[in-house]
Amino acid sequence: MRTELTYTATLPEQTNTVVLVSGRDQLPQERFTADELDYINRQLDLKSPLISINKLSHQLYLLHTEPKQTQAQTNEALRKAGHALHQRLLADKVSEVTLVDANNGESALYVAEGLVLSNYSFLKLKTEKATPPCLQKVTVSGKAVGEKQVTELSNLLEAVYRTRDLVNTPYNMQTATLLSEQVKKLVEEAGVQVEVLDEVQIQSLKMGGLLSVNQASDEQPTFTILEWKPENATNSQPIVLVGKGVVYDTGGLSIKPTPNSMDQMKSDMSGAAAVAGTFYALAKNKVPLHVIGLIPATDNLVSGKAYAPGDVITMYSRHTVEVLNTDAEGRLILADALHFAKKYNPSLVIDIATLTGAAARAIGREGIVMMGTADDLVKTDLKVAGDICHERLVEFPLWDEYQDHLKSEIADLKNIGGAEAGAISAGKFLQFFTNYPWVHLDIAGTAFLTGPDSYRGKQGTGSSVRLLYHFLTSQATA
């Protein structure tokens, strides 16, 4: 891991230390001299959340956070405090730091999460002045936190790092074939089984959605199948994760109306990256759950071979789809994967995709749109997981009337609805290809940011990896 996250039971002497306190009465008096306590109290009077004391041999920081109305809000405030701490540590050129909770609680875990995620950088393509962040090691100390918790968090944050790397990699270095190779290398390192179907195998399966989107390309599509099945898996039926893997999206012949932002379309495989990152975390932490991953991957380009508005294509399910907009390509490749998922007799299928601008416009970058046919308990568990990691979910309806938006006069359905409820009609399209409990997560607003946002950073965020991990671990112990 580029930022090493470790645990120690006892606080080392003369090491850069951050003491976490939630109130003035929680100040560990024994750690400070009388003069230092006087200085700290004066700073607290000034509402300073981060106080620094130079001990000559090392730096001592006091990080003050006030409890919020809920535990989830408190934990998010601690992550953001970790981000603020990161800015100070960079300014002070600190390479190693130890976090200790004066209240003997778990606050250090959440500060460490925000601190480590803030320390991410994507430098592998730089040849000059590629200076990595000076912070190299974060240690959590305390009696209320154990080594197992810190190791689990470390593996999860490394999964987010790897997911961000995949999202940030440009298209010329990440065709569908290269993506499948990168995913394979990543998850096999953790012990996940992988099979990659090539174009000939995809053709033999007659996956018309994936093949049609790929028509314009000189690069082959791929269909990657991941499986994590530990011997102690607690579920008899697998949970399936499906990730959209459009490695670059021009919009096809229905070319995107905002070409000045097309460089961001390398991120249209963020769902695929999230599936890979989630599998990495599950396997590294040996979560006892049988999970299948499906990643259909292709680019969506413009050429004389491209599928066109007005075409009717035959999907893997053998249903016909009238294509009215070639920029609604993600749902076509996901539909083939969702039908393929039926062979596993899954207890639940979750697809993750940067699917619609409508979802991003509806709730911004502050949350993830969710809809689905899974029962209310599953959706509640997902919402709880979202609150835990502050990847919050907003549920949209899937009323039967929305299916009317997709009626076609010449095919079984068309691939877009009208101007209204675009995110929902996209979800209804996907639902058509399911016959099992299913949830759709539209991460269009959260997967790739054009400006920095606290510990989520800028560009690829690794959105939904922590959400899925927390949800799946809850299912493993349910």
> Residues near 22 by Cβ (< 8 Å), separated by ≥ 6?
64, 65, 66, 67, 103, 107
Residues with Cβ < 8 Å from 192, sequence gap 6 or more?
226, 227, 228, 279, 280, 283
What is 98-125 written as a DSSP string? EEEETTSSSHHHHHHHHHHHHT----TT
* Residue 24 appears among annotated catalytic residues: no
Query: Which residue out of 256, 342, 383, 458 is catalytically annotated?
Result: 256
Active site residue 162: no
Encoded tokens for 423: 């995110």
CA distance 282 to 387: 20
**What is the phi/psi pair of residue 411, to 5°?**
-140, 180
Tokens encoding 424: 């929902």
Residues 444, 359: contact at Cβ < 8 Å?
Answer: yes
245 φ/ψ angles, rounded to the nearest 5 degrees: -120, 50
DSSP state of 256: -
What is the C-alpha separation between 195 and 178, in angstroms, rounded?
A: 14
In single-letter form, the type of residue at position 255 comes to I
What is the separation, in whole angstroms, between the first and last Cα of the chain? 30
Among 80, 184, 331, 379, the active-site one is 331
Q: Which residues are catalytic?
A: 256, 331
